[in-house]
Amino acid sequence: MFKTVLIANRGEIACRIIRTAKRLGLRTVAVYSEADAQALHVKLADEAHLIGPPPAAQSYLSAEKLIAAAKAARADCIHPGYGFLSENAAFAQSCADARLAFIGPPPSAMLAMGLKDRAKALMEKANVPVVPGYHGEMQEPKFLKQKAYEIGYPVLIKAVAGGGGKGMRRVDRHADFDTALEGAQREAKAAFGDARVLIEKYITAPRHIEMQIFADSHGNAIHLNERDCSLQRRHQKVIEEAPAPGMSASLRAEMGAAAVAAAKACGYVGAGTIEFIADGAGGLKSDGFWFMEMNTRLQVEHPVTEAITGLDLVEWQFQIAAGEKLPLKQDQVPLNGHAVEARLYAEDPERGFLPSTGKLIALQFPSGEGKGLNLRVDTGVAAGDEVTPFYDPMIAKLIAHGRNREQALSVLANALDATIVAGPRSNAGFLAALCRAPEFREGSFDTGFIDGHLEELGASPQGMDKAAAALGARELLTRERSRIAAAAEREADAARSAHISPWDADDGFQLSGPRRQIVPILADGQKATAQVIQERSATAVSIDGIAAASDAVYVLRRGRQTKVAFRDLSLDEGGDGAGGGIVRAPMHGKVLSVLVAEGAEVTRGQRLAIIEAMKMEHTLVAPIDGTVSEVAVAKDDQVAEGAKMILIVAKE
């Protein structure tokens, strides 16, 4: 076994690897960018090395810096986690050249399976069923458009080197193909440095089912059952579970055998995932699944497999990389109960799930201890940490394990209800609603389920939560009174000699009836006026919690956050009024392109600019008909959330 491991990653996966490595007696070495100097994974490791500025290209994606750090720390192996360089064959080879064991597959297997077009060709030779489509080298737009027509719409455009939904577009009409191709190629180039794409037939009722496989260097390969990852948004997984609802033992064996055959076909060693697309119409069936891609690394959702098997997959990774044989044979792999994982993100479901950055004013997870709950929380952040625009905005993964699917979903939903996130917005309430959605509970869902139920799940504009705003105003007044009282206490001599009458009170004192105070506030940037009534028998409003910052309070109610602050009447802090023509940046990000110039006539809904945040593109459109009077940004500018980008003067 190894002695020292360098974890070439950050966040929750780095923390998760550190836990297992320490249990195995390994010395752990973390790396961090300047943005992560105080990060949790840095604090948990035995030692840590700075590898560069915040942009990933200059830190976590620098193979040279990672290997230099490993040598400086006298590490004998590198664990890449997932994302970043985890599926980079050149990095794996560089580790081998530096005599550092790479905790992952050999470079040859990564090359064979890392590019979707090559992988599909290899699978066809191994008699593994493959989705119909074009996987060739020709990338001329007119040629690709013709291939899409021949395959038949709807089709998927997918980045050859992609993953995580980046560089992927669904196209339903021939007329929309050109715009979709342009966006997919641009996003693929930014995320993976490779703009090439392939075209596949889109299955209309798809289920995303993947098999966790392991192979050793002695020729043995097995699967550890399947995971269902069909609940997706923008082709990114939201909730994963194991086993897959509706999966029979015979179909599991058939899909598992196909997955093992795929692994052996590329000479695989280590942990990997074979992803299948299944036709969910009429239930899962033998002739209704096709190979989609292979992930040559550990998956984000691996904890649900650990929950139903009782195994530690990271421990297996270390053992196999050290040359050991697989610990179990296929017929020894357990399958106990049901597990469900939810990805808690700093994002705003009411604004198209835009990433939400900023300081975590409060962060609290429920504990299953003493409550009969089987709940696991994997996180890489703590209260006080900053969610930055440089990396994936995942806050944590919550994993529930139960005797059956119904119990696991209930445990997870209740845990999400009890989770407190203040500062950046989160998708906690959305996830809880998803866990309780009747059709999902019944097992009637596919990859389009979320998009078809956005309003029921609360993922659409909800308007101001007036009860939360009022509670926030009351909390602000309470804090202000405490501040005044503390100031008076510090002036002890003056306070003792002062004569304070009811007429001097700042709390809306009046001779009869309850005390009322009118408070001008900002609730999530919207102007409002709260009437705070001070009486003993006030009606209680159920809330999840209140967190305080220096200039505001955050009221959490039903998984939804409302930020409340005093409004300075001398300033126009309320933002832009209804129908206003100011287009602001919806999040921190980089301006990829500006599509209009000053003086241009625009119509409501017209595309104005494209911003990139977290390696995903977001298009800004005109809120009104009018004339562009100002363009405040240019291509490649970095913009902060709320920054003015374009001003439109309405037509008279």
Comparing CA positions, the residue from 456, 434, 433, 426 lying closest to residue 563 is 426
pLDDT of the residue at 421 = 95
Q: Tokens in use for 323?
A: 């040359």
Classify each residue of 275-313 as buried b or exposed e, where b means 16 or more C-beta atoms within 10 Å of its C-beta: bbbbbbeeebeeebbbbbbbbbbbbbbbbbbbbbbebbb
Q: Residue type at 160?
A: V
Other CB atoms within 10 Å distance of the CB of residue 264? 15
Nearest 5°: CA angle at 193, between 597 and 397? 95
Assign 3-class secondary structure to 16-46: HHHHHHHHCCCEEEEEEEHHHCCCHHHHHCC
CA distance 131 to 119: 12
Domain residues of the chain, as ranges? 4-103, 132-201, 206-452, 463-482+545-566, 582-650
Task: Let me know how many helices (H) and strands (E) the chain has, helices first.
Answer: 17, 36
pLDDT of the residue at 500 = 45
Q: Is the pLDDT of residue 575 over 50?
A: no
CA distance 455 to 642: 25
3-state secondary structure of 494: helix
**Are the beta carbons of 421 and 365 closer than 8 angstroms?**
no
Q: State the Cα torsion 320-326-328-330 to the nearest 10°.
A: 120
Comparing CA positions, the residue from 186, 184, 188, 10 lying closest to residue 84 is 10
**Are the beta carbons of 476 and 521 closer than 8 angstroms?**
yes
Strands 394-402 and 375-379, sheet pairing: antiparallel
- Over residues 157-168, the mean pLDDT reads 84
- Over residues 369-378, the mean pLDDT reads 75
Highest mean pLDDT among 218-227, 277-286, 636-645: 218-227
493: burial class by Cβ within 10 Å (0-12, 13-18, 19+)?
Answer: exposed
Following DSSP, what letter does each residue of 173-193 receive, concatenated?
Answer: SGGGHHHHHHHHHHHHHHHHS
pLDDT band at 545; cut points 50, 70, 90: confident
Comparing 235 with 92, the larger pLDDT belongs to: 92
Highest mean pLDDT among 194-198, 242-246, 601-605: 242-246
Q: Tokens in use for 236?
A: 């990114």
Q: Tokens in use for 145?
A: 């458009």
Classify each residue of 607-643 as buried b or exposed e, where b means 16 or more C-beta atoms within 10 Å of its C-beta: ebbbbbbbebbbebebbbebebeebbbeeeeebebee
- Over residues 195-211, the mean pLDDT reads 92
- Sign of the CA dihedral with 231 first, then 233, 236, and 239 last: negative
Q: Hunting for tokens 């840095």 — which residue is that?
A: 42
pLDDT of the residue at 17 = 98
3-state secondary structure of 271: strand
pLDDT of the residue at 514 = 57
pLDDT of the residue at 502 = 40
CA-based end-to-end distance of the chain: 75
The residues annotated as belonging to the active site are: 297
- Over residues 156-169, the mean pLDDT reads 86
- Over residues 563-571, the mean pLDDT reads 73
pLDDT band at 72; cut points 50, 70, 90: very high
CA distance 272 to 13: 16
pLDDT of the residue at 5 = 98
Helix H or strand E encompassing 252: helix 249-265
pLDDT tens figures, 270-322: 999 999 999 988 899 998 999 988 999 999 999 999 999 999 999 999 999 99
- Percentage of the chain lying above the pLDDT 70 cut: 90
3-state secondary structure of 348: strand
Comparing 557 with 504, the larger pLDDT belongs to: 557
- Percentage of the chain lying above the pLDDT 90 cut: 66
**Are the beta carbons of 375 and 419 closer than 8 angstroms?**
no
Assign 3-class secondary structure to 194-243: CCCEEEEECCCCEEEEEEEEEECCCCCEEEEEEEEEEEEECCEEEEEEEC
pLDDT tens figures, 491-543: 665 545 545 444 344 444 444 455 567 778 888 878 888 777 655 444 456 67
Q: Is the pLDDT of residue 456 over 50?
A: yes
pLDDT of the residue at 507 = 47
Report which DSSP code applies to 61.
T
3-state secondary structure of 524: coil
Comparing CA positions, the residue from 64, 114, 116, 115 lying closest to residue 94 is 64
For domain 4-103, give the CATH number: 3.40.50.20
**Are the beta carbons of 229 and 236 closer than 8 angstroms?**
no
Give the lowest-confidence range in 123-127, 171-175, 296-300, 435-439.
123-127
pLDDT band at 574; cut points 50, 70, 90: very low
CATH topology (fold) of 582-650? OB fold (Dihydrolipoamide Acetyltransferase, E2P) (2.40.50)
CA distance 191 to 204: 27
Q: Which of the four CATH numbers 3.30.1490.20, 3.10.150.10, 3.40.50.261, 1.10.3720.10 does domain 132-201 have?
A: 3.30.1490.20
Report which DSSP code applies to 453.
T
Comparing 541 with 90, the larger pLDDT belongs to: 90
Query: What architecture does CATH give domain 206-452?
Result: 2-Layer Sandwich (3.30)
pLDDT of the residue at 372 = 55
User: What is the average pLDDT value for the chain, to the nearest integer?
Assistant: 89
Phi-psi region of 52 (alpha: psi -120 to 50; beta: other; left: phi over 0): left
Max Cα-Cα span within the chain: 93
Q: Directed axis angle between helix 11-23 and helix 313-321, to 10°?
A: 70
